[in-house]
Amino acid sequence: MSISKLTSKVVGDKRHWREYKARVRNLPPSYRDAVAALERYMTHLGGLGDADSIMAMLDDLVDLFEQGAADRTPIREIVGEDPVEFVEAFLANYPAGRWITRERDRLTSAIDRAEASEA
């Protein structure tokens, strides 16, 4: 990757991150707190993949909460009774960039190859 492309990517990623954080700041306080808690859980969970995948996921999360705030949907109606179940289901929609998905595929392929060589 050329220096200009790398610089453009870094600046673009940083701009996208700032735009996302501004959107979160514009949410009502309770929605903002909920998004911050979900974001914290997702980032501490780890293995979220590349920057583009992460930003797509976070954009979708803030979209959901912006719509909920506009409709005055209670937070519990958005996340349900179990916020961990909600975030795990939410993350399952973004498997491509997650390292665990790649490792699961690698494990399955290795076992398939081992089985093939056994025959």
Give the integer Cα–Cα distance in Å for 76 and 86.
10
pLDDT for 24 beyond 90: yes
pLDDT for residue 85: 92
Tally the domains of the chain: 1
CATH number for the domain spanning 102: value is 1.10.1900.10
Check residue 2 and give left, alpha or beta (phi > 0: left; psi -120 to 50: alpha): beta
Chain segment 47-103, per-residue pLDDT in tens = 566 777 788 889 999 999 999 999 999 999 999 999 999 998 888 887 655 566 677
Of 33-37, 43-47, 71-75, the least confident? 43-47
Domain around 34: 3-118
Look-up of token digits 């954080």: 21
- 98 burial (CB, 10 Å; 0-12 / 13-18 / 19+) is buried
Structure pTM? Answer: 0.74
Task: Kindly write down the DSSP assignment for every residue of 29-97, as one continuous string.
Answer: HHHHHHHHHHHHHHHHH-----HHHHHHHHHHHHHHHHHHHHHT--HHHHH-S-HHHHHHHHHHT--TT
Q: Per the structure block, which two tokens stand in for 73?
A: 């949907």
